[in-house]
Amino acid sequence: MIVVIDVGNTNIVMGLYEGKKLLHHWRFGTNRSATADEYGILIYHFFKHAGLDIDNIDGVIISSVVPPLNYTLEELCRKYLKKPPLIVGPGIKTGLNIRYENPREVGADRIVNAVGAIELYGTPVIVVDFGTATTFDYIDENGDYLGGAIAPGIGISTEALYQRAAKLPRIELVKPKSVIGRNPVTSMQAGIIFGFAAQVDGIVERIRREFNNRARVVATGGLAELIAEESETIETVNQELTLLGLRIIYERNQPESRKAGGL
């Protein structure tokens, strides 16, 4: 079994693969001050609850956009999972031709998403990831990663509005009945939900015009379904895209003898 871990600024998503089948996946908060022991006990209980033996793990791969946590997670893997992790970064085989000005500056999550999107949807493809930031990534018809756009995420934008506007409340992110809100809560919901959907559509259409194609659009991330309902350009939502990309990259970095064994 292979453990795949994606470390975001807000959440960590962990999946467990047996061959190409995703057996389980879990989401838990990113805590920069947590120790390897704290994360280890948490993961141990995830496995126990699912009736899994933590000793049956064959390998671990991690993508992280939180560098201060990397050492903690490596210690976690060695101490509790009994495997040194493969970290997505420079020197790792991804199969992706990255045409960023400085490929080392591309977030690991964006690379992993691109690998998964190419595998499932072909090219050209645009990946929209609704995380702490909303990222847009474009992979052209040759399978080259060209870059994309980064915008403030829905969560931090909503929180900033509450913190900086004295009379506006914290709200639940649900679709309002109308784009014309009749009170502060529904007005904020309309601005956020419909506003972010329009942002997605606007950026996607600009990418399509710039490259003169109708690239497929796939979304992932916590609020992807909510925004996709109002977006005119999002065609597919896949919450397992990052986990899939991690599994593929793990396989690409194994010796041929191990690949032949079904990993």
Q: What is the DSSP string of 176-214?
A: -S-SS-SSHHHHHHHHHHHHHHHHHHHHHHHHHHHHTS-
Spans of all domains in the chain: 2-87, 97-243
53 is catalytic: no
Mean of pLDDT values over 128-140: 96
Which CATH code fits 97-243? 3.30.420.40
User: 2-87 in CATH: which number?
Assistant: 3.30.420.40
Let me know if the fold of 2-87 is the same as that of 97-243. yes
Q: Count CA atoms closer than 13 A to 102's CA, side-chain side.
A: 3
Tell me the pLDDT band of 171, cut-offs 50, 70 and 90. Answer: confident
First to last CA, the chain: 8
Chain-centroid distance, C-alpha 211: 25
pLDDT, one tens digit per residue, over 15-64 is 999 999 999 999 999 999 999 999 999 999 999 999 998 888 999 999 99
- What are the contacts of 13-18 at 24+ separation with CB within 8 A? 13/242, 13/243, 14/43, 14/46, 15/240, 15/243, 15/246, 15/247, 16/50, 16/52, 17/243, 17/247
**Cβ count within 10 A of residue 166:** 6
Give the pLDDT of residue 169.
Answer: 86
Check 6, 109, 129, 137 and give the catalytic one. 109
